[in-house]
Amino acid sequence: MSHLIFNQPSEDKSALEDAGDFTPRFDDRGLITAIVTDAGDGELLMVAHMNAQALALTIQTGTAHYFSRSRGKIWKKGETSGNLQTVKEIRTDCDQDAIWLKVEVAGHDATCHTGRRSCFYRTVTLREGKPMLDIIDDERHFDPQDIYGK
Amino acid sequence: MSHLIFNQPSEDKSALEDAGDFTPRFDDRGLITAIVTDAGDGELLMVAHMNAQALALTIQTGTAHYFSRSRGKIWKKGETSGNLQTVKEIRTDCDQDAIWLKVEVAGHDATCHTGRRSCFYRTVTLREGKPMLDIIDDERHFDPQDIYGK
């Protein structure tokens, strides 16, 4: 399968904001931000990054692929854990520098590597002038030790 | 009001993923990604960036502030349009490099500068092998010409 080629973004702001060609605006690192929600109930599951290849693979295969900044490579989400993401809808924002994936999660229905459903399992609140984190979801859908061996 | 000071992130991954101090991980540009949803129905409204000052202002005032990469300055969302965002909840993700704001939008209940409720008003679909955009929400809550004069 040959990879999709994305056309260059228009310099005309109104063209960027209209219907027509999808011309993603990758940043100076060649990345675009991807926001991932559950297609069923809309819960925010994770935020990740894609390069052009990961975005093309996601659009062409219907399974979410990302670019790992720490590992410097394409990453098919759920390849190890089984928690693959089937993409039900893709949207982009007004200036085409972010995309939103609505997905169905397979496997344990867990997106976070800690075994939780969502990576956003903690709230931030100010206590005695300090920003503090509280865990509001501690249900583990899998044991990371079993899956990742670490 | 003195600005909040954020402690440096731990190098211990398990500490980063636990409860305790909120230690946001700003990238090499000094920015963190902010995902913004409607506190009422969970709709994804926008994605933006914050530097430490914008994040501190948001936590301390309860009104969303961002950092505009194009203008190179702090930006109180809605200052011109009246569509201020009151923050009802803040969450962070497992590695503390993204935050999620659940907000109530004042004014026209519009977050996008095009006058639409959400910046994510277009879907991406593959048609004849090309990634194309379709507008699925074209309801304008305000006329950008009236608000921004452009």
Cβ of residue B131 closer than 8 Å to a chain A Cβ: yes
pLDDT tens readout for residues A98-128: 999 999 999 999 999 999 999 999 999 999 9
Please tell me the class of the A13-148 domain: alpha beta
Length of chain B in terms of residues written: 150
The average pLDDT across A7-24 equals 96
Distance from CA of A124 to the nearest CA of B (A): 5
Determine whether the interchain pair B92/A120 forms a contact, defined as Cβ–Cβ distance below 8 Å. Answer: yes
Q: DSSP secondary-structure letter at A58? A: H
User: In DSSP terms, which residues pair with B86 in a beta bridge?
Assistant: B63, B104
Choice between A2 and A35, residue whose per-residue pLDDT is larger: A35
The pLDDT, as a whole number, for residue A69 is: 87
Alpha-carbon dihedral angle through residues B49, B51, B53, B54, given to the nearest 10 degrees: 0
- Judging contacts by C-beta atoms under 8 Å, the chain B residues touching residue A130 are 21
Distance from CA of B141 to the nearest CA of A (A): 15
* Three-state secondary structure of chain B: CCCCCCCCCCCCHHHHCCCEECCCCCCCCCCEEEEEEECCCCCEEEEEEECHHHHHHHHHHCECEEEECCCCEEEECCCCCCCCEEEEEEEECCCCCEEEEEEEECCCCCCCCCCCCCCCCEEEEEECCEEEEEECCCCCCCCHHHHHCC
- Judging contacts by C-beta atoms under 8 Å, the chain B residues touching residue A44 are 35, 37, 44, 100
The pLDDT, as a whole number, for residue B95 is: 96
Strand spans (E) along A51-97: 65-68, 73-76, 85-92
pLDDT tens readout for residues B13-43: 999 999 999 999 999 999 999 999 999 999 9
pLDDT tens readout for residues B45-56: 999 999 999 999
Closest CA to A58 of A36, A26, A81, A28: A36
* Three-state secondary structure of B46-86: EEEEECHHHHHHHHHHCECEEEECCCCEEEECCCCCCCCEE
Q: How does residue A1 score in pLDDT terms, banded at 50, 70 and 90?
A: low
Determine whether the interchain pair A132/B47 forms a contact, defined as Cβ–Cβ distance below 8 Å. Answer: no
The pLDDT, as a whole number, for residue A147 is: 87
pLDDT tens readout for residues B96-129: 999 999 999 999 999 999 999 999 999 999 999 9
Where are chain B's structural domains? 13-148
Closest CA to B36 of A105, A102, A44: A44
Cβ of residue A92 closer than 8 Å to a chain B Cβ: yes
Cβ of residue B26 closer than 8 Å to a chain A Cβ: no
| Distance between CA atoms of residues B16 and B32, nearest Å | 15
Determine whether the interchain pair B120/A92 forms a contact, defined as Cβ–Cβ distance below 8 Å. Answer: yes
